[in-house]
Amino acid sequence: MNASVTARRLPIISLQDVRFSYEGGIEALKGVSLSVARGENVAVVGGNGSGKTTLAKHLNGLLKPSSGRVLVGGEDSSKTSVAMLARTVGYVFQNPDYQLFCTSVEEEVRFGPKNMGFGRDDESALAERALKLMDISHLREQSPVSLSLGDRRKIAIASVLATSPIVLILDEPTTGLDSVESAQLMATLDVLRSEGMTVVLITHDMRLVAQHMDRVVVMSEGSVALDAGVEEAFSDPDRLRRCKLLAPPITVLAQRLQAQGVLPKGAATPLQLVELVARVRGERQ
């Protein structure tokens, strides 16, 4: 995404100098400021305990700042109920079992739109679309508890999608999924993104970031250590290491080829690497 295009758009989420301390605990956010524009897709990465989940829970009002402000769709999260904020921001928990409580998959996916007062027709249309997007229509009569973690995660995402949020926040959605399930889930997110959904992905998987995201917010010890495009974020291995992160293998390969003079600089993601190799090949022919 062109930075000037992003800058021109109004933020759908804005954090202004947010600090947050858990009761009797440490300060988990130490003055975080960032904005997410409509249609952006942002990865939030960082080592364990760096504040990713605490940050994510501020984006939908589950946690309110100790100081500073969080604006969601222009509304101050401290003055707005979680239910109201959920009309703008859908939050998918790391553990789907925190979210699932109905006796059938269909009931689960219909619960959100029903609760938000969508009419019966809209409720059906939204639920059907979410079931189809997550490829779980065939499971509609099953009980979520009887299904695999991968399926339960799909149901949790479908139940949030069915509420038609503007922003989808996913906390470590690929944890516990095998490689194929993980790739399927990310492909679905790509579809949502191509339709204009704003996606905030909390993850420790840098390969997913390189392959699917545009912008990276690196959290370190409760602060934003870096907020940049993927290429810029992955460009400095020492900086990443200080934030307890490693660039994905594809980026390391590209950087080694660039260091050896085999390729010019300018590739950090699989797509960029393919484009760069094709360009170099074209120039040499």
* Residues of this chain that bind ligand ADP (CB under 6 A): 22, 25-26, 28, 46, 48-54
SS (H, E, C) the chain: CCHHHHHHCCEEEEEEEEEEECCCCCEEEEEEEEEEECCCEEEEEECCCCCHHHHHHHHCCCCCCCEEEEEECCEEHHHCCHHHHCCCEEEECCCHHHCCCCCCHHHHHHHHHHHCCCCHHHHHHHHHHHHHHCCCHHHCCCCHHHCCHHHHHHHHHHHHHCCCCCEEEEECCCCCCCHHHHHHHHHHHHHHHHCCCEEEEECCCHHHHHHHCCEEEEEECCEEEEEEEHHHHCCCHHHHHHCCCCCCHHHHHHHHHHHCCCCCCCCCCHHHHHHHHHHHHHHHC
49 versus 176: smaller Cβ distance to ligand ADP = 49
Cβ nearer to ligand ADP, comparing 127 with 224: 224
CB nearer ligand ADP, residue 82 or residue 253: 82
CB of 74 to ligand ADP, least distance (A): 25
Residue nearer to ligand ADP on the CB measure, 63 or 133: 63
Q: How far is the CB of 28 from ligand ADP (least distance, A)?
A: 4
Closest approach of ligand ADP to the CB of residue 77, in Å: 17
Report, in Å, the least distance between residue 273 CB and ligand ADP: 29
Nearest residue (CB) to ligand ADP, 7 versus 26: 26
User: What is the smallest separation between the CB atom of 51 and ligand ADP, expressed in angstroms?
Assistant: 5
Shortest CB 248 distance to ligand ADP, Å: 19
Shorter beta-carbon distance to ligand ADP: residue 20 or 118: 20
